[in-house]
């Protein structure tokens, strides 16, 4: 049995916990959190041990994988602590890898020095629709790609997400999904221009419109919103020989209608008739760590995604296009 511990028991931590328990040959030996009542309740429900910090977990048990599901601004310190222990512990980390490029690069460096595997949960790589879309593009079904339109909208996440110093805001936290998918599918970005609206009056939401030029010439438009009632995503890939389109509004094979309107504002995708992307992601990470499978996402790619997100943040803040190649901003 491979021993896994989960750091952070918020919405995402609990989701990961439930998915780890479904994966064969995995023993969730501990959970780390701050909320004593919640910890106690979860430890009882899932028959595991609770800890108030990472150190007491690692002092108490020999863990093979820690899964970091903390708010983004805590990723760096948590990973540093895990990498710094005497034992070699593999790390699974919720996206984004870190809050900024400097932290991300420092973690990359530390992980190399100690030869630690870090696997970052860029969920779109495990999303059946987006993974299939990439595969079709790579197979050339629309020929050479010219213009790409992507849109991702969810409800306002509130809590620590509303603080840019904790979450990186919409451009990092939500944008990184599509930015990573773009890097994965089309390669590096040449330059980016982003515009960002942060609204507090009437209703609180964030909204961003981003134009990217990939190094291979593809022109991309990305729309991001933290102002929808539920997750909505869409894409359009226009190539020399055709057009691929998809929209989350029209992909549910089963629609449930009940007398009571569903009032919940769930910001995570519902997964009907398909395996959860998180289950696939965590199973894959286990396979990488336990069986030495080669990861679908490398830590270098996770660093690059953070760099790109940070470039969009810089662009939006300063109203200038940002060139990725030189790492310097050009007026």
Partner 1 sequence: MKVGIISFAHLHASAYAHYLMEHPEVELVAIWDEDAKRAVEMAEKYYCHCYTVLEEFLATNIEAVVVCSENAKHKEHVIAAAKAKKHILCEKPIATDLLDAKAMIDACHQENVVLQIAYPVRFSPVMQQVKKIIESGQIGKIVAINGTNHGQMPGGWFINKSLSGGGAATDHIVHLLDLTRWLLNDEVRNIYAELDTKFYDIDVEDCGMVSAELESGIIVSIDPSWSRPKTFPTWGDVTMEITGTKGDLSIDVFKQHLVWYNDRDNKVQQLPWGRDMDQGLIEDFISCVKEGREPSITGEDGFRALEVVKAAYQSSNNKKLVELDRIDL
Residues at the contact surface with partner 1, assessed by CB under 8 A: 144, 146-147, 149, 151, 191, 193, 195-197, 199, 201-203, 205, 207, 209, 211, 213, 217-221, 223, 225, 227, 238-243, 319-321, 330-331
CB of 37 vs partner 1, minimal distance in Å: 38
CB of 130 vs partner 1, minimal distance in Å: 20
Nearer to partner 1, 197 or 272 (CB): 197
Nearer to partner 1, 56 or 199 (CB): 199
Nearer to partner 1, 116 or 142 (CB): 142
CB of 183 vs partner 1, minimal distance in Å: 18
Run of H or E residues at 12: helix 11-22
Nearer to partner 1, 211 or 296 (CB): 211
The set of long-range contacts for 162-169, using a CB threshold of 8 Å and a minimum separation of 24, is 162/204, 165/73, 165/99, 166/71, 166/72, 166/73, 166/99, 167/71, 167/72, 167/73, 168/72, 168/96, 168/99, 168/100, 168/309, 168/310, 168/313, 169/196, 169/198, 169/206, 169/313
Nearer to partner 1, 66 or 214 (CB): 214
| CA terminus-to-terminus distance, the chain | 55
CB of 269 vs partner 1, minimal distance in Å: 20
- In 3D space, the residue among 129, 138, 158 whose CA is nearest the CA of residue 248 turns out to be 129
329 secondary structure, DSSP code = B
- In 3D space, the residue among 61, 54, 59 whose CA is nearest the CA of residue 8 turns out to be 54
CB of 330 vs partner 1, minimal distance in Å: 8
Nearer to partner 1, 192 or 278 (CB): 192
CB of 236 vs partner 1, minimal distance in Å: 8
Q: Hey, which residues does 242 pair with through a beta bridge?
A: 239
């Amino acid at each position: 049995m491979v021993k896994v511990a989960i750091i952070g028991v918020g919405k995402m931590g609990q989701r990961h916990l439930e998915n780890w328990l479904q994966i064969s040959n995995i023993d969730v030996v501990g959970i780390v959190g701050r909320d004593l009542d919640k910890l106690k309740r979860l430890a009882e429900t899932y028959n595991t041990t609770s800890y108030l910090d990472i150190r007491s977990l690692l002092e108490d048990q020999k863990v093979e994988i820690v899964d970091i599901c903390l708010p983004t601004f805590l990723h760096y310190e948590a990973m540093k602590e895990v990498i710094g222990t005497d034992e070699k512990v593999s790390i699974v980390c919720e996206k984004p890898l870190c809050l900024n490029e400097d932290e991300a690069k420092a973690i990359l460096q530390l992980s190399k020095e100690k030869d630690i595997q870090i696997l970052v949960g860029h969920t779109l790589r495990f999303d059946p629709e987006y993974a299939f879309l990439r595969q079709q593009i790579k197979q050339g079904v629309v020929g050479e790609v010219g213009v790409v339109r992507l849109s991702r909208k969810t409800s306002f996440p509130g809590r620590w997400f509303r603080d840019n110093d904790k979450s990186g805001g919409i451009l990092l936290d939500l944008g990184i999904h599509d930015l990573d998918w773009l890097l994965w599918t089309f390669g590096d970005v040449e330059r980016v221009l982003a515009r960002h609206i942060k609204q507090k009056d009437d209703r609180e939401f964030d909204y961003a419109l981003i134009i990217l030029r990939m190094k291979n010439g593809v022109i991309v438009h990305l729309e991001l919103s933290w102002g929808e009632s539920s997750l909505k995503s869409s894409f359009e890939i226009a190539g020399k020989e055709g057009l691929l389109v998809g929209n989350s509004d029209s992909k549910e094979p089963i629609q449930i209608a009940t007398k009571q309107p569903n009032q919940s504002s769930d910001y995570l995708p519902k997964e009907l008739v398909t395996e959860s992307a998180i289950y696939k992601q965590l199973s894959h990470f286990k396979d990488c760590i336990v069986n030495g499978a080669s990861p679908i996402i490398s830590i270098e790619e996770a660093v690059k995604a953070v760099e790109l997100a940070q470039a969009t943040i810089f662009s939006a803040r300063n109203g200038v296009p940002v060139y990725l190649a030189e790492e310097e901003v050009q007026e």
